[in-house]
Amino acid sequence: MSEENVSTSGLIAESIKALKDPKAYFAAMPTSGGFGAPIMKALFYGVIAGVFGFIWSVLGFSALGGLSTMFGGGAGIMVLIGSIIGALIGLFIGGVIILIISAICGGDTNYEANIRVTASLMVISPVSSAFGFLYGISFILGSIIALLINLYGIWMLFHALNGSLKAKPSTAKVVSIVIGVVYIIFFFIGLGTAKLAEKYPTMMENPNSEEMAEMAKSIAGKIGGEEAEKAVAEAMDGQEGFSLETSGGDVIEAPTLTQLVQSLGELDSDEEFCILSKGEDFIQTAYSEKGFIVQYKDATGQYESSELLGQPTVIMIFSTYLNGDDSWKQSAQWEKMQ
């Protein structure tokens, strides 16, 4: 979007295009031209999301429930103002997060380009807010709709990485799938209500179950079509030749991406390390209160990360390794061990 194209009609038309055809939109989206346009876009989305939030809050159709009714318009005004301020803050924080993801995927690390991508992805905010009234009808229904909307946002992120930020497609696919899988897992953990547990008993007890895999593929197919469903299916299938071992003594042959993410997410003082191996080669990580140390071994020797890494970075590294893509080496500095 050019600096001059910030009219309401222009923003609406651009938003519709981004939502209807994110692949074409992000392929053509300019990544330079100043910060004015993305700031205006973020504020525009913040205002719309805030207006919806204000309406649902005043009417009592929001996640605030009784609080919105108790405080009436006061709560609604707080929602409106908070949405606008949050949009502006979220733009710049989100720009940093997208930049990190882009760097992991070998994409553009220019801050302005990532700010512009972030602003365009924020179109999801008013869409999500528009359906916020569903929380007032049923918390579970509202949560499920929010899940679908945010998964579509991740699908848009995938196209933004490829189209606007020129990331490595295979890595961008893995990273996007990892984010989606993690989001789904934590969604069900956070939504572990009795009704959901009764309806999806296997899924609640075991996120790696066939029920979980089928649901993930179904959602991907409905949101992103056959291409997305195929990508998720590949991720949910076990990777032959790999072996996953934890400090608890569990060994998983041909681990799936969800099994890997879950194992890494459970690392703590009780579950201290995780090893992913293929033949003589391996990558392993060990937990500490200050971060994670990562080591890997290949035909050239054994290496160790020069500094402690955060859990999200470790998950991205291991997930890319499982996919057979060596771009994970760019996510950290490595020192050869003696």
Q: Could you tell me if 219 and 275 lie in one domain? A: no
What is the C-alpha separation between 254 and 284, in angstroms, rounded? 16
Q: Could you tell me if 122 and 218 lie in one domain? A: no
Closest C-alpha among 145, 177, 184 to residue 158: 177
Calculate the average pLDDT of the chain.
78
Q: Could you tell me if 270 and 327 lie in one domain? A: yes
The answer on pLDDT for 38 being more than 60 is yes
pLDDT score of 229: 61
Confidence of residue 220 (pLDDT cuts 50, 70, 90): low
Q: Could you tell me if 28 and 128 lie in one domain? A: yes
Please enumerate, as own/partner, the contacts of 259-265 that have beta carbons within 8 Å and a separation of 24 or more.
259/208, 260/318, 260/319, 260/322, 261/178, 261/181, 261/182, 261/185, 261/315, 261/319, 262/185, 262/207, 262/208, 264/311, 264/314, 264/315, 264/318, 265/182, 265/185, 265/311, 265/315
Give the pairing of strands 251-253 and 242-246. antiparallel
Highest mean pLDDT among 51-60, 92-101, 155-164, 176-185: 155-164
Q: Is 322 a member of any domain?
A: yes
Q: Could you tell me if 330 and 216 lie in one domain? A: no
Q: Is 188 a member of any domain?
A: no
Confidence of residue 53 (pLDDT cuts 50, 70, 90): confident
- Where a domain ends, among 134, 153, 172? 134
Structural domain including 213 reads 196-236
The answer on pLDDT for 27 being more than 50 is yes
By CB atoms closer than 10 A (0-12, 13-18, 19+), residue 336 is: exposed
Beta bridge partners of 252: 244
Q: Is 108 a member of any domain?
A: yes
Q: pLDDT tens digits, residue range 221-239?
A: 654 566 656 655 665 666 7
The answer on pLDDT for 118 being more than 90 is yes
Q: Is 170 a member of any domain?
A: no
Q: Could you tell me if 262 and 311 lie in one domain? A: yes
pTM: 0.60
Confidence of residue 74 (pLDDT cuts 50, 70, 90): very low
The answer on pLDDT for 279 being more than 60 is yes
Residue with tokens 């392929």: 27
The answer on pLDDT for 203 being more than 60 is no
| Cα maximum dimension of the chain | 67
Q: Could you tell me if 201 and 271 lie in one domain? A: no
Q: Could you tell me if 14 and 126 lie in one domain? A: yes
Q: Could you tell me if 213 and 266 lie in one domain? A: no
Q: Is 185 a member of any domain?
A: no
Q: Could you tell me if 227 and 255 lie in one domain? A: no
The answer on pLDDT for 163 being more than 50 is yes
- Give the count of domains, the chain: 3
Q: Could you tell me if 100 and 51 lie in one domain? A: yes
Q: Is 201 a member of any domain?
A: yes
pLDDT score of 89: 78
- In the 8-state DSSP scheme, what is residue 192? -
- Where a domain ends, among 236, 267, 296? 236
Q: Is 3 a member of any domain?
A: no
Mean pLDDT to the nearest integer, 151-175: 91
pLDDT score of 22: 93
The answer on pLDDT for 72 being more than 60 is no
Q: Could you tell me if 271 and 204 lie in one domain? A: no
Confidence of residue 20 (pLDDT cuts 50, 70, 90): very high
Confidence of residue 66 (pLDDT cuts 50, 70, 90): very low
- Where a domain ends, among 101, 134, 167? 134
